[in-house]
A and B are shown apart, each in its own frame.
Chain A
């Protein structure tokens, strides 16, 4: 990574090795954030054939790229929602800055590594879990391991929604319900209104409606999610003394984050697209329109009202709602149940992974510890990728008929 080393190219210290690992890992997380979330915007358009699979992921990637570059004012305080690593102005807590911020860098590295492991694992299972929950979970786990329970901000001070409870847990319970209700209402009305209208009118109309609403979701995703990684990388740079300005972020950080999330989106998490587009409900064009409109409206109005929602949970809730709202439609509740389970355990599971990573890194210590964490991360993701090749899902078979995997073996042994 050239750019990461630019600030201190004259002297490659041990800290700069750790810093470079943090930057690469953060970009890696951003990449998984992209491919994990392609489905949120595009699963419906792909399933209904409104867009060909490759065109859909390309459109979403371009909009994510534009969205990421639109983030001119990036908040450096992204971690403040859940952990106590930073002061309110974005600078790291002084206690974490000894040895060029080594303590903070290890917490961030372990947190990101935990988040990536969980993201790749849920992708392998084709489950749409929230990338922001994975990131927060990883950071919480690493912070608990590194700083004790007091390192985590559990609730706000009472004045506004903050902390793990206010920013993550409560919205996590409510957002899929809200999105599901909106999508169900929209689907029901659309079917009522267009009953008896000739297919040639509805098909063309709903096709454009779906593409438009899915594009809004992609753009909003780019502005929201790429920012988080930009904030985390800049925090690491400030902690190591490579960057001092808390009012802006380095340009190369913005460019590399924008590219990472957009490349990830283009790669397309086909397994998750398949689950959302084919597995949960058989989506028809009116449902696709209702689901994506509901997602866009809920995501935008909640961020306007300062109510932090996860894009993934909103999108999945919407698609579920569009199945409930369509007269006579069938929802595969077994798939929905697995999905809800993934929502519930994402935060603690990523937290556990983050904590383990921190513990491994800390017990080895200093630069070697960080390198070992990074190597473990590479090994685990490599293994999971290799496992995914046994049953590949890509743009050729993403829309194949859904067959609920029968699991006789598990049932016999259980």
Chain B
């Protein structure tokens, strides 16, 4: 396979992962902020729901960030993160 093909193959994977994590998570974060703000309305029921949705969004974002952190730390120790078993696991590089 030529270098260009290999690079394109790598590039689209990075683009896909980048769009999910690098654009998707911030969008979710923004959705959380929106829900939090809509929680500021007068009705109690609606406020509660808005706040709950907001923290759910923030929770998912935090998990994403923690995965990123784990990956950085693991790389330093010569390990890597795999998603082969659905649950992220650390293995030797």
User: For A216, what are the chain B residues with a Cβ–Cβ distance below 8 Å?
Assistant: 65, 68-69, 72
User: For A305, what are the chain B residues with a Cβ–Cβ distance below 8 Å?
Assistant: 10, 13-14, 17
**From residue A214, how far is it (CB to closest CB) to chain B in Å?**
12
Whether A70 sits at the interface, judged by CB under 8 Å, is yes
Closest-by-CB residue of A relative to B75 is A223
Q: Which of A24-32, A153-161, A275-283 contacts B (4 or more CB under 8 A)?
A: A153-161
**Cross-chain contact B22 with A170 (CB below 8 angstroms):** no
**Cross-chain contact B21 with A303 (CB below 8 angstroms):** no
Whether B31 sits at the interface, judged by CB under 8 Å, is yes
**From residue B33, how far is it (CB to closest CB) to chain A in Å?**
4
Point out the residue from A73, A166, A193, A298 that lies within 8 Å of B18, measured CB to CB.
A298
**From residue B85, how far is it (CB to closest CB) to chain A in Å?**
16
Q: How far, in angstroms, from A184 to B8 measured CA to CA in the complex?
A: 20
**Cross-chain contact A294 with B18 (CB below 8 angstroms):** yes
Q: Which of A36-44, A136-144, A285-293 contacts B (4 or more CB under 8 A)?
A: A285-293
Q: How far, in angstroms, from A202 to B8 measured CA to CA in the complex?
A: 37
Q: How far, in angstroms, from A207 to B84 measured CA to CA in the complex?
A: 35
Q: How far, in angstroms, from A336 to B19 measured CA to CA in the complex?
A: 23
User: For A160, what are the chain B residues with a Cβ–Cβ distance below 8 Å?
Assistant: 6
Q: How far, in angstroms, from A309 to B13 measured CA to CA in the complex?
A: 13
Q: How far, in angstroms, from A304 to B31 measured CA to CA in the complex?
A: 28
Instruction: Give the contacts of B35-93 with A (CB-CB under 8 A).
Output: 36-37, 40, 65, 68-69, 71-73, 75-78, 80-81, 93
User: For B11, what are the chain A residues with a Cβ–Cβ distance below 8 Å?
Assistant: 174, 178, 307
Whether A300 sits at the interface, judged by CB under 8 Å, is yes
Whether A301 sits at the interface, judged by CB under 8 Å, is yes
If the complex has contacts A73-B77, A293-B22, A294-B23, are A197 and B3 also in contact, measured as CB distance less than 8 A?
no
If the complex has contacts A171-B7, A201-B36, are A186 and B72 also in contact, measured as CB distance less than 8 A?
no
Between B11, B20, B30, B81, the greatest number of chain A beta carbons within 10 A of the residue's beta carbon is seen for B30
User: For A309, what are the chain B residues with a Cβ–Cβ distance below 8 Å?
Assistant: 14
User: For A67, what are the chain B residues with a Cβ–Cβ distance below 8 Å?
Assistant: 72, 76
Q: A161-B3, A213-B26, A304-B71 are in contact. List 20 more A-B contacts (CB 8 A).
A: A70-B77, A73-B93, A161-B6, A166-B6, A182-B18, A186-B26, A189-B26, A189-B27, A189-B30, A201-B34, A202-B33, A205-B36, A206-B33, A223-B75, A293-B26, A297-B22, A297-B23, A300-B21, A304-B81, A305-B17
8 pairs, CB–CB < 8 Å, chain A vs chain B: A183-B23, A190-B29, A194-B33, A201-B36, A293-B21, A293-B25, A294-B22, A301-B13
Could you list which residues of chain A lie within 8 angstroms of chain B, going by C-beta atoms?
A: 67, 70-73, 155-156, 158, 160-161, 163, 165-166, 170-171, 174, 178-179, 181-183, 185-186, 189-190, 193-194, 197-198, 201-202, 205-206, 209, 212-213, 216, 219-220, 223, 286, 289-290, 293-298, 300-307, 309
